[in-house]
A and B are shown apart, each in its own frame.
Chain A
Amino acid sequence: MRTKIILSLFILFFVYASGFAEEKPSPLRLNQLLKEELSLAKTPALYFIFDLEGKTIVLKSRGMVLQEWKIESVRSWGDQPLLKTMTLVKKSTLFPPKRQKIKPGAAEEGDTFELDALELKDMPSTYVLYMSEGTYLYIRSKPEKFISRVGDIGHLFNWYVWVPLRNLGFELQKKPFTAVDVKLGNKEEAQALYWSLADGIKGIVFCL
């Protein structure tokens, strides 16, 4: 009996903590979203929209979708993200991709050709996007191999133990805090998102 109660409580907790309920956005929220998007689309810069309700991430320019990623699952801690234009302040990851330094004259010396390039495969698939307005987006992909499954356990520990504590710290300092965990379909999608979102890019995180 006790086990059943504990199990039910756990299920209830995970369902609730899994994020935002699936409803239709109110005309007012939609109005705010469209106004923010129009102000972004009027500029020549690229921008993103994390639509947590529609479970999509889009990279856009002039209102046109350049790239779209499907979100597998989403959950959150803290305040609802503010519906206003945010800036990607920085990307944080355990092993950031490193740019190669060209040695002047090296290509002339050697007979073999080595490609010193930063490519999609060099991008991380688990990282945090630090947004302005105290919003943190934890991006990861569906674990495919044994190592990524182990890494995912580490991520879950971080999400359920460390992130709430961090939120508490922010709350005590009266600073805004929103953490959103976004899981993408596969490793390459998470890598492409890392690649496409350059530091300083602006966008919107939308939920009901």
Chain B
Amino acid sequence: MKKNKILLLSLLGVLAFFILVEIIAYVVAWPRRTAEKAPPGGKPGEGASVDRLEAENSSLRKKIKALPPKAVYIVVDLAHNALYLKKGNETIRKAVVSCGSGSILEEPGGRRKWVFDTPRGEFYVKSKITGPTWVKPDWAFIEEGKEVPKNPEERLEPGVLGDYALGFGSGYFIHGTLYTRLLGRSVTHGCIRVGDNDLKVIYQAASIGTKVYIF
């Protein structure tokens, strides 16, 4: 009986300690604001200082507004496998595409490894090709469980990239596909596959230097 009482008191003691610590934690963690530092040339809120800040803010806004491209540009939403051909805020064309699968391929023996992601960030169209031929990279042979050929001719595979290809650097392209039923899914090795009709519109609208934003 006495043992139980001691146990109960100990538990209550621990609980009381925990509550006390939690109360201290609440007081310490209470949301608080950082005091505003005075801008050079006056205290915040002073007439002249506020006017000067507002003028500077307006100039900063203009500088930011001037940064987006003025011409046609391409936006690729990897999460939704969607491509937008845009000019300013206007969307000229929306296309369902296929982007990188995010899968990993390791060469038997573990010498090389590839992660099939579509790169993110700002790029620009570096090349425009009609009737492109795929030059199969090493990973394509390794993925198929085949030996990497020594003869470069054996790497050429015409007809699989559709009618057009737009290169945006490091071997990545926006190109056509034979697997149209997979459009909308993340299945590629990093390139962006587009259906024939959409690809034609994008190819005609884009020129060398057209910005490509991928996120």
A binds B: yes
Taking Cβ atoms with an 8 Å cutoff, the residues of A that contact B are: 16-17, 19-20, 26-31, 34-35, 37-38, 41-42, 44-46, 59, 61-64, 66-67, 75-80, 82, 99-102, 104-108, 115-120, 161, 163-165, 167-168, 171, 177, 179, 191-192, 195-196, 198, 208
A105 contacts B145, CB within 8 Å? yes
With A80-B32, A198-B120 as known contacts, state yes or no: A27 contacts B103, CB within 8 Å. Answer: no
- The B56-83 residues at the A interface (CB cut-off 8 A) are 56-57, 60-61, 63-65, 67-69, 75, 77-80
> B32 and A116: CB pair below 8 A?
no
Residues of B within 8 A of A102 (CB): 103-105, 143
Residue from B24, B57, B79, B108 with most neighbouring chain A CB atoms (10 Å): B79
> Which residue of A26, A38, A59, A82 contacts B36 across the interface (Cβ within 8 Å)?
A26
Given contacts A59-B215, A80-B33, contact A45 B64 (CB under 8 A): no
A19 surroundings in chain B (CB, below 8 A): 31
B74 → chain A closest CB, angstroms: 12
CA of A67 to CA of B53, assembled, Å? 29
Which 6 A-B residue pairs are closest in the complex by CB-CB distance?
Answer: A105-B145, A118-B102, A164-B25, A34-B60, A167-B29, A27-B53
**Cβ-closest chain A residue relative to B213:** A61
What are 23 A-to-B residue pairs whose CB atoms are below 8 Å?
A28-B37, A30-B57, A31-B56, A34-B57, A34-B64, A45-B121, A46-B213, A61-B122, A61-B215, A62-B67, A63-B65, A82-B34, A104-B107, A104-B145, A105-B144, A115-B182, A115-B187, A116-B103, A117-B101, A164-B26, A165-B25, A168-B28, A179-B29
Choice from B21, B32, B105 contacting A168 with Cβ under 8 Å = B21
The reply to whether B185 and A119 contact each other, CB–CB distance below 8 Å, is yes
Interface size class of chain B, counting residues whose CB lies under 8 Å from the partner chain: 35 or more
A163 to B30, CA, bound (A): 11
User: For B144, what are the chain A residues with a Cβ–Cβ distance below 8 Å?
Assistant: 104-105, 107-108
Using CB atoms, name the residue of chain A closest to B38. A28
Q: Given A20-B31, A108-B144, A165-B25, are A100 and B68 neighbors across the interface (CB < 8 Å)?
A: no
